[in-house]
Amino acid sequence: MSDLRTVRPEIPDFEKYHAGMAIEEIQERYGLGKVIKLASNENPLGTSPVVQQVLKQNAGLAFRYAQAGTPRLHAAIAEHLGLPVSRIVAGNGSDEIIDLLVRIKARPGQDNIIAFDPCFSMYKLQAKLCGVELRQAKLKPDFSFPWDDLLALADENTAICFVTTPDNPSGFTPKASELEALARALPPQCLLVIDEAYMDFAQPLEEYSLLPRLNEFENVAILRTFSKMYGLAGLRLGYGILPEWLADYCLRVKLPFSVNVLAEMAGIAALSDTVYIEATRKVVSEGREQLTRGFQSMGCKVHPSMANFLLIDLPAGASHDAKGLFQALLERGIIIRPLSSYNLPESLRVSVGDASENRALLDVMKEILGS
Ligand SMILES: *Cc1c(COP(=O)(O)O)cnc(C)c1O
C-alpha cells in the first residue's frame, strides 16, 4: 500500500548528518564569548586575504549565474595540475563528486562499493541513498590498511573502491606504491577513487600520491578539495580528476550551477595564492608537532598523521573517557570531534589550530584530566 508519505525504502533510515559542532551553537548553549573550534579540519589561518579581496570585488556579481560547467575554473585547475582540462570536474565540495560518482557508476540493487571500516561517512551515505551495497574491510588496530582484506571483498559487481589518503580520521598515509598495487589488482570494471582531501599536507607528493603518474592508470580517479588547505570550506568547492569518459558523463548529469559564481572566482584566486599555502603548510606542520608533544606528555597515544588533524586515545585510567573529555572541553569553549559516528567511541580527533589555539587546548585538557 502506498500513500502520500511513501518514499524509497532507503530514506526513513537516514539520520541527520553529524557535522563538527558550530561555534554559534556552543556560544549560545553555554553562554560563552570566545569559542575555539578544532573539529572540522578547517584552515587555522582563516580565509586568505587574497581570496577575501576577490570576494569583495565580485560581490556585485552574485545575481549572475556562473558559466555552466565553470570552464575558467576547470582550466585553472588543469593548469595547476599539469593535466588536460577534459579530466577535471569541479563540484559543490568534493562531496558532490562522491555523490556523482556513486550515482553514475554503481547500478542500484546490483553493484557494490568497497571501502575500509571506518571510512568517510559520505561514501556510506551516498551508497545507501542509491541502494548500493557497501562492503567494508576493517582497518588494522594501528589504522594501517589491510589491502588483502579490501581486495577480497571485490567481485565482478564491484563498481567503486574508495580509499582516503591521508586517511580520515587517523591521518595514516600509505605509500603510492601500495595504491599502485591496489589499482593493478582490482577487477577491470572497478574504479579506484582515491580521496586526497588532505594530500596537500603530505610531502613529498610523489611518495604518497598517484597524481604525478596518473596517466599510467586508466582505472583511477582522484578527489581534491578547497575546504582544507585552501581554506574555503564554507564556499563549497572540490573537484575530481577523472578518466576523460567519466568526466564527460559527470558534466552531462551534474546540476549545472552547483559551483556558484563566487566559489569559482575564489577557487581560481586560491590556486595561485602561494603565500597563504606556504603559511598554511608551516602552521600545520608546527602545530602538529606542538600538539603531538603536548598530548604525549599527558600520556595520550597519538597516531602518526600527515594531515591537519590528529587522532588520539586517552591514557588508561584517565579521569575522563573520550566522551567525557569532549563534553568537558565543550563547556570550556573548545570544540573537538568525538568519533562515535566512526565507531571509535574511545578516540578523539583534533584539528590542528594555530599556536595559541593549540596551547589553549593543551592547557585546558591538562586541567580537566588533572582534576
Ligand atoms: C573534508 C573531506 C572531504 C572534503 O569535503 P568537501 O565536500 O570538499 O568539503 C572529502 N573527503 C574527506 C575524507 C574529507 O575529510
Shortest-distance Cα residue to atom 11 of ligand 1: 197
- Give how far Cα 96 sits from Cα of 101, 126, 212, 313, Å: 9, 10, 24, 32
The residue ranking higher by pLDDT, 341 or 165, is 165
**53-88 per-position pLDDT tens digit:** 999 999 999 999 998 889 999 999 999 999 999 999
What is the model's pLDDT at position 342? 86
Task: Please determine, for residue 237, whether its predicted confidence score (pLDDT) is greater than 70.
Answer: yes
Q: Residue 360: count other Cβ atoms within 10 Å of its Cβ.
A: 18
Torsion of CA 262, 263, 268, 272, to 10 degrees: 110
Pocket of ligand 1 (CB under 6 A): 93-95, 120, 164, 168, 195, 197, 225, 227-228, 233, 238
What is the model's pLDDT at position 69? 87
Mean pLDDT confidence for 203-223: 97
Q: What is the whole-number distance in angstroms between the Cα of residue 236 and the centre of ligand 1?
A: 10
**88-139 per-position pLDDT tens digit:** 999 999 999 999 999 999 999 999 999 999 999 999 999 999 999 999 999 9
What is the model's pLDDT at position 25? 87
DSSP designation for 214 = G
| Residues ≥6 apart with Cβ < 8 Å to 63 | none
Mean pLDDT confidence for 315-337: 94
Q: For residue 60, which of 226, 265, 238 has the smallest C-alpha distance?
A: 265
Helix, strand, or coil here: 194?
Answer: strand
- Matching fold, domains 11-37+275-370 and 49-273: no
Question: Rounded to two decimals, what is the model's pTM?
Answer: 0.96
CB-count exposure of residue 80 (10 Å: 0-12, 13-18, 19+): middle
Mean pLDDT confidence for 11-39: 88
The angle that helices 261-271 and 71-81 make with each other, rounded to 10 degrees, is 20
What is the model's pLDDT at position 71? 95
CB-count exposure of residue 210 (10 Å: 0-12, 13-18, 19+): buried
Domain locations in the chain as residue ranges: 11-37+275-370, 49-273
What is the model's pLDDT at position 226? 98
Helices (H) and strands (E) in the chain, counts: 13, 13
Angle CA 78–161–152, to nearest 5: 150
What is the model's pLDDT at position 17? 84
Q: What is the whole-number distance in angstroms between the Cα of residue 99 and the centre of ligand 1?
A: 12
What is the model's pLDDT at position 85? 98
> Which residue type sits at 297?
S
Q: What is the domain class of 49-273 according to CATH?
A: alpha beta
Shortest-distance Cα residue to atom 2 of ligand 1: 197
> Which residue type sits at 319?
S
**253-308 per-position pLDDT tens digit:** 999 999 999 999 999 999 999 999 999 999 999 999 999 999 999 999 999 999 99
332's enclosing H/E stretch is none
Probe target for ligand 1 pocket from 227, 236, 351, with the most ligand atoms within 8 Å of CB: 227
What is the model's pLDDT at position 18? 74
Band of the pLDDT at 371, cuts 50, 70, 90?
low
Beta-sheet pairing, 334-335 with 36-37: parallel
Helix, strand, or coil here: 256?
Answer: coil
CA atoms within 13 A on the CB side of 63: 1
> Which residue type sits at 288?
R
Q: What ranges make up the beta strands (E) of 139-264?
A: 158-164, 191-195, 220-225, 238-241
Band of the pLDDT at 217, cuts 50, 70, 90?
very high
Mean pLDDT confidence for 304-327: 95
Cell of 123: 561514501
What is the CATH topology of the domain spanning 11-37+275-370? Aspartate Aminotransferase, domain 1 (3.90.1150)
Mean pLDDT confidence for 302-328: 95
